[in-house]
Amino acid sequence: MKMKTLSCLLLAPLMLLASCAMNENQGGNSKPEEHDSSAWFTDAELEKIGLSGLECPTNIGNDISTSLTWFNQGYAFSASCESEDVLAENATTIFTYLETNYQDSFGKPKGFMYGETETFYRIEKKTDMEEYKSTNPSPLYKFYYVTDTTLAEDGYFKDDAVYSIDIRYEFSTDKDAYLLKIFFENASKSTNGAFTFKYKF
């Protein structure tokens, strides 16, 4: 009886150590990803959303703010901006980047079938950058790009294949100034997650 009790006492610490080792190997003690929120995204961060090599916007203030925790596994950027011309300049940079790196795999979505919780789109490439421009809710350009053109069984791109870039010129009441804002999002769902979007060319 004493031997059995002694064995249990000896085994307990070993089991605890084994459990800790398993948690560590499975990422239980993994640190959250570090990010400099006062700087443009690193190339490693951009690579995760298919935008390796995309440069920081120009002609903006030094008050850069960035985040890796935007809606739909997205990123967010903002900085003070003197005029709408700066928006157009930086939107042109993004447009040129997409033309170079995505060629026929980017464009503007056009809905063609609508369900209660799903909307189906064709992504149509527009060669005139003004086709991507809108004034709702503020002056902006919005582009969609496809990181993987492989079709799923339903004939549409996979859920994580299509991303959107929303670059806008918007007034901030908090800063009492106009900002250049850029939002990068996985475009497979609405911001609130209630609606699903499907795409193909």
Q: How confident is the model at residue 3 (pLDDT cuts 50, 70, 90)?
A: very low
pTM of the full structure: 0.83
3-state secondary structure of 184: strand
- Tens digits of per-residue pLDDT, 17-44? 444 444 444 444 445 579 999 999 999 9
* Total number of residues shown for the chain: 201
pLDDT of residue 33: 72
Burial class (CB in 10 A: 0-12, 13-18, 19+), 28: exposed
- What is the mean predicted confidence (pLDDT) over 88-112? 98
Percentage above 90 pLDDT, the chain? 82
pLDDT tens per residue, range 127-163:
999 999 999 999 999 999 999 999 999 999 998 999 9
Cite the DSSP H helix spans in the chain. 2-25, 43-47, 84-101
